[in-house]
């Protein structure tokens, strides 16, 4: 791994910098980057990955639609303050990129740099490294930060794993495909997992069709 020179030269993020050592301050100061990739700072190391697949973005967009519908139905006293896709969670030496964040119970628009999200959400990728990151590394870091819940939506296992932060330690619940999930953090909100998985399957269909055609 090569260290970033401590100069005033402007850093432009791209895939060639994958594995570069950086400080959180250097990462936060970046203004230019190749937007064909996404970037995380993990324990002082820059990690570069391709942009999320359609099978992750599609259900994530639908989840945002459900959350905003819940927000509008419960105005002016909705428990939901904000939800945004593809945002960073700041730790002491890392900048973790979450697929979606939810802020709830503040009663105001969050301070994006200071207010910890209430719920963090990941849509799992197939790669073993990504699964390890989502199921173990991010779980540990998010619980240590004090995030209220962490949802891991896995279209391969057809489940959603919910880790709830509790004083006596994390509490885990597995939501199966045909179950509907609700949380006390968003009173009245219901998440039908089957619908999210159906959206993921729909966005995966063109790829499956293309593979079948190539075998003929």
Tell me the pLDDT tens digit for each residue of 115-128: 999 999 999 988 88
* pLDDT for position 211: 55
Asked if the model's pLDDT at residue 8 lies above 60, the reply is: no
Domains (ranges, CATH) in the chain? 12-50 (no CATH), 54-205 (3.90.1570.10)
65: which residues sit within 8 A by CB, 6+ positions away?
none
* CB of 12 closer than 8 Å to CB of 22: no
Does the pTM of the predicted model rise above 0.85?
yes
* pLDDT for position 4: 56
pLDDT band of 11, cuts 50, 70, 90: confident
* CB of 182 closer than 8 Å to CB of 167: no
Query: What letter would DSSP give residue 3?
Result: B
pLDDT band of 212, cuts 50, 70, 90: low
């Amino acid at each position: 791994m090569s260290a970033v020179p401590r100069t005033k030269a402007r850093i432009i993020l791209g895939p060639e910098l994958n594995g570069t050592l950086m400080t959180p301050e250097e990462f936060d100061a970046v203004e230019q980057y190749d937007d064909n990739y996404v970037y995380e700072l993990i324990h002082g190391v820059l990690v570069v990955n391709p942009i999320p697949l359609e099978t992750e973005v599609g259900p994530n967009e639908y989840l945002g639609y459900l959350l905003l519908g819940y927000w509008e139905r419960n105005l002016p006293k909705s428990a939901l303050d904000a939800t945004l896709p593809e945002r960073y969670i700041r730790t002491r030496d890392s900048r973790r990129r979450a697929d979606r964040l939810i802020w709830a119970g503040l009663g105001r628009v969050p301070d994006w740099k200071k207010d910890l999200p209430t719920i963090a959400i990941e849509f799992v990728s197939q790669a073993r490294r990504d699964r390890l990151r989502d199921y173990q590394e991010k779980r540990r870091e998010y619980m240590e930060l004090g995030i209220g819940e962490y949802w891991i939506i896995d279209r391969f296992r057809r489940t959603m794993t919910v880790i709830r932060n509790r004083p006596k330690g994390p509490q885990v619940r597995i939501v199966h495909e045909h179950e509907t999930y609700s949380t006390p953090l968003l009173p009245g909100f219901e998440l039908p997992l089957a619908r999210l998985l159906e959206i993921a399957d729909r966005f995966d269909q063109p790829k499956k069709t293309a593979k079948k055609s190539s075998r003929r």
